[in-house]
Amino acid sequence: NAGVTQTPKFQVLKTGQSMTLQCAQDMNHNSMYWYRQDPGMGLRLIYYSASEGTTDKGEVPNGYNVSRLNKREFSLRLESAAPSQTSVYFCASRTRDLAYEQYFGPGTRLTVT
Amino acid sequence: RKEVEQDPGPFNVPEGATVAFNCTYSNSASQSFFWYRQDCRKEPKLLMSVYSSGNEDGRFTAQLNRASQYISLLIRDSKLSDSATYLCVVTFNKFYFGSGTKLNVKP
């Protein structure tokens, strides 16, 4: 039982390049999330998916797109990377019940030059 | 106003000390409450849920005060390994994370 996995762990992009961050969970969770974390800013929600087939914007969705490929996988795409998107990206999942916690993946450290 | 507010710290305490963090939340209808721990350059991990009657897990005690809209975390007999950032989390239809309180436990 791997929990939540993310790939890649590290990535360096040039401005304007695109890439997809992958996330998968094996806990049969309905809800999945993408956050970014910047120094002093805490976790900010980019997009979330309450269930397979649905996605919704979070607090900071501009410049990102997501795909809930199936119940296990939720990917985050940067179409044209900008230096402001330099951050640590965390994927998380949880059951439908808000009484239960979110489980986080190990994160992807992205640098855009 | 932020949904969840925490003192960023850092709290610098000697080993063996007792330290307490508070966290305030803005929505009186908030449903569930958690404390997460985040080590440097790692993902957040659940430390403990916070129940209405308060709850304890070893050296850690969490309290909820709905009237004043805050939750607290008390750490007794601090260990060097407790050094981390502690995130307060509140749910109301979705999860709201505080920015975290940094704790440094020194020998």
pLDDT at A113: 96
pLDDT at B2: 83
**What letters, b where the CB count within 10 A reaches 16 and e where it falls short, cover B53-62?**
eeeeeeebbb
pLDDT for A3 beyond 70: yes
> Which 8-state DSSP code applies to residue B90?
E
pLDDT at B88: 95
Identify all chain A residues contacting B87, using CB atoms and an 8 Å cutoff: 42-43
- The greatest distance separating any two alpha carbons of chain B, rounded to the nearest whole angstrom, comes to 42
pLDDT for B95 beyond 90: no
Who's near A5: CB < 8 A, 6+ residues apart? A23, A24, A25, A105, A106
Residue A82: name the closest of A107, A109, A113 by CA.
A113
Tokens coding A90: 């965390």
With CB atoms and an 8 Å threshold, state whether B31 touches A98: yes
pLDDT at A98: 67
Tell me the per-residue pLDDT of A4-60, one tens digit each, with 9 for 90 and over. 999 999 999 999 999 999 999 999 999 999 999 998 778 999 999 999 989 999 999
pLDDT at B69: 95
Report chain B's mean pLDDT, rounded to a whole number.
94
B46 near A CB under 8 A: yes
pLDDT for A100 beyond 90: no
